[in-house]
Amino acid sequence: MTKKFLYGIFLIIGTVLIGVYTYQEQAKVDRLINDQTAVVIVYGEGEKESLGVRAFLSVLEEEGVPCLVISNAKLITADPEDVLKSKPAIIYPDSAAAVLSTDTAGWIASYIKAGGSVQLASDAGSQNRENKYRYEGALFDKLAGIKRVVENKKSRDVFLYGPVTFSSREDADYFGIPRGKCDENNNITGYRYGTLTYTYAYMYTVETEESRIYATGKGPKKKVPLLSGRHIGKGELLFVNLPLASLKGNGDDLLLRSVLRTFLFKMVKVPHIVSSPDAKGGLVLNLHIDSNEEHASLPWFITHGYITSKLKYSIHITAGPDCYVPGDNAGFDAEGKGHKIVEDLMRFGIIGSHGGWLHNGFADRIQKGKLDKEGIKKNIEINNRALEKITGYPIKEYSAPNGVFPQPESVEILASLGMESYYYTGDIGSSPNRTFYQNKMLSRNIIAFPVAVYGNKASLYEFDKGKVSDKDVADMLRELVDYTVKNRVVRLFYTHPYDIYRGPYKNAAKQFIDYCIAKQEHGELNVETMSYFRDFLLRLINTQKMIRWHDGVLDIGLSSKEGVGSMVIAVPKQYLNRTLKLPATVKKDELYYYVPTETNSTDYHMVFRYE
């Protein structure tokens, strides 16, 4: 075989590959100007697999939003008004679009003025083609109405560190931040950490009359805009001066999810599939049972209605006979003294695993480095087997004793044991999600359920230690339910039965349970297990979504190999300056109609005509 022949073969192969790539890229441009409605995620040169794209896309998949991911170079070859006909929103994530061509700013300005909406990260267009920071100003600064500051001309420091402070409680509510995640000054707080500190670019607003400032950071001389909106022509710009993707990549999902939901669902009002079953609030009541104290508290719990067949619970048990050290006989002892109680609890929900056989001893040994990955797995496996002998079904849910859950090995262990969901002290205050660690998604199938918190407290035991009054606890728990209902999201609340049995919150806890029952019976809330919400979320993620807009008609199609099942489509009352009217029997709020699918078919299709 001659060199000339081989060269010819390679040349043909290379030509074919280039042709395929060119065809694929042109197909993306064609998708920009067809009638399929999607939110456009834009990346810069070489950034298709960046953290920004992966993090934003993961959240949008979980929120039921159809997306198109495309390079900025391809985006700006299309006419902005043609793109707007079916693509009402464009997003430039952080960590994905620092280097952009200089003519991008003009293209984006035309798109917004024509009626489009853009969410723009502060680092988008902030570097030149040599990957050097544009100290004189990034591409979109004028459009965003801001001016960057270089504090130190020698070191050229351009970043600051400080709290995220919402301009008012109403602005925090607008962005869907739970009240338990803000302090009295509207600063975002962390579980056991107090006020959190974030990184942001040093800048200030230069056109204050045209800008709506939702959140700020501290600057040496004046406040720094972190979340700001501007109406430009017929459209709107949301400028985000926070590293949302980086936060998501390191176990803090809330801000990214909250900003995306606010931008797309409240500002733009895009059609989407609601991420909570039945478009209701969702709540997981996660009971942690870890010691022999529960031998007395659980029968009392059942007798007095704190656990009831009207609700479903995720009940996680540390099954061993010991709690702190082997031989102390302080454990729940699921195979012995606790056996009958486990059988009684099975009718109230799903039994899950609360760690590795002895509660405090397991957590303590992990923290001291005395249990390696194989040792952690062995202990969880022993715990699971003990519970499976009683329940007769595989243990699929998990919660870590004392929240000790080293990543990524813990999720890898759960996967190897066939487990599917877990209580999580990362992503605090947010929705169930496929969490990230060190900028990588840990699993596409195992779902993290972040804990709902109130400042630095999560369980009733922590409220008691903080001397919080029964009335205040009752108000906070009621507020949690109302938050899930208002925002149509899922949250997890956890506590130990003995926190109520021996603590001061019997009245608050009973009011909470009764309120959950009332909201559920009224059709506003689902109180269900982790497994229930996990299965729904994966079905939502794996369902193909097709939304087309043409001549005032919104055409929505869903497709799933497992069957579409019961989902709810949020259909905007007004879309691209047209109005939809549906029968009064269709559930609605001020922005959307909520249309259920209710089908066992693998395909679903519905048409909505706007006037």
pLDDT tens-digit readout, 8-17: 666 666 665 5
More confident of the two residues 5 and 352: 352
Closest CA to 143 of 169, 170, 119, 171: 119
Q: What is the pLDDT of residues 16-64, one digit of tens each?
A: 555 555 545 555 566 666 778 889 999 998 899 999 999 999 999 999 9
**Please, are residues 410 and 355 in contact by the beta-carbon 8 Å criterion?**
no
pTM: 0.93
Q: For residue 29, give the amino acid letter.
A: V
Confidence of residue 601 (pLDDT cuts 50, 70, 90): confident
Q: Is 53 helix (H, G, I), strand (E, B) or coil?
A: helix
Span of 181-190, 510-519, 530-539, 542-551 with lowest mean pLDDT: 542-551
What is the model's pLDDT at position 149? 85
Instruction: Please compute the mean of the pLDDT values over residues 341-345 and round it to a whole number.
Output: 97
More confident of the two residues 20 and 188: 188
What is the model's pLDDT at position 45? 87
What is the model's pLDDT at position 22? 52
What is the model's pLDDT at position 552? 86
Confidence of residue 496 (pLDDT cuts 50, 70, 90): very high
Hey, how many other C-beta atoms are within 10 angstroms of the C-beta on 611? 7
Instruction: Please compute the mean of the pLDDT values over residues 418-431 and round it to a whole number.
Output: 96
Confidence of residue 549 (pLDDT cuts 50, 70, 90): confident
Instruction: Please compute the mean of the pLDDT values over residues 409-430 and round it to a whole number.
Output: 96
Measured at the CA of 24, the angle between CA 22 and CA 30, to 5 degrees, comes to: 100
Q: What region does 101 belong to: left with phi over 0, alpha with psi -120 to 50, or beta?
A: beta
Mean pLDDT score of the chain: 92
pLDDT at position 173 over 60: yes
What is the model's pLDDT at position 425? 94
pLDDT at position 281 over 80: yes
What is the model's pLDDT at position 134? 80
What is the model's pLDDT at position 8? 62
pLDDT at position 194 over 70: yes
Confidence of residue 248 (pLDDT cuts 50, 70, 90): very high
Span of 305-319, 415-429, 542-556 with lowest mean pLDDT: 542-556
**Please, are residues 125 and 140 in contact by the beta-carbon 8 Å criterion?**
yes
What is the model's pLDDT at position 21? 52
Span of 112-121, 149-158, 504-513 with lowest mean pLDDT: 149-158
What is the model's pLDDT at position 135? 73
pLDDT at position 242 over 80: yes
Q: How many helices (H) and strands (E) does the chain have?
A: 19, 33
Closest CA to 195 of 161, 219, 221: 161
DSSP conformational letter for 277: G
pLDDT at position 491 over 80: yes
Residue 8 CB partners (closer than 8 Å, separation 6+):
none
What is the model's pLDDT at position 331? 97
**Please, are residues 224 and 203 in contact by the beta-carbon 8 Å criterion?**
yes
Measured at the CA of 328, the angle between CA 325 and CA 331, to 5 degrees, comes to: 85
pLDDT at position 127 over 90: no
Closest CA to 176 of 483, 592, 594: 483
pLDDT at position 565 over 60: yes
What is the model's pLDDT at position 452? 95
Measured at the CA of 486, the angle between CA 485 and CA 490, to 5 degrees, comes to: 50
Hey, how many other C-beta atoms are within 10 angstroms of the C-beta on 101? 15
DSSP conformational letter for 407: T
Q: In this structure, what token pair is assigned to residue 211?
A: 């800008």
Instruction: Give the full edge-to-edge strand order of the sheet including 272-273.
Output: 272-273, 568-572, 592-596, 587-588
Residue 573 CB partners (closer than 8 Å, separation 6+):
579, 580, 588, 590, 591, 592, 593
What is the model's pLDDT at position 440? 97
Q: What is the pLDDT of residues 63-94, one digit of tens each?
A: 999 999 999 999 999 999 999 998 999 999 99
Instruction: Please compute the mean of the pLDDT values over residues 588-594 and round it to a whole number.
Output: 94
**Please, are residues 13 and 42 in contact by the beta-carbon 8 Å criterion?**
no
pLDDT at position 147 over 80: yes
Determine the angle formed by the axes of helices 409-416 and 373-391, rounding to 10 degrees: 40
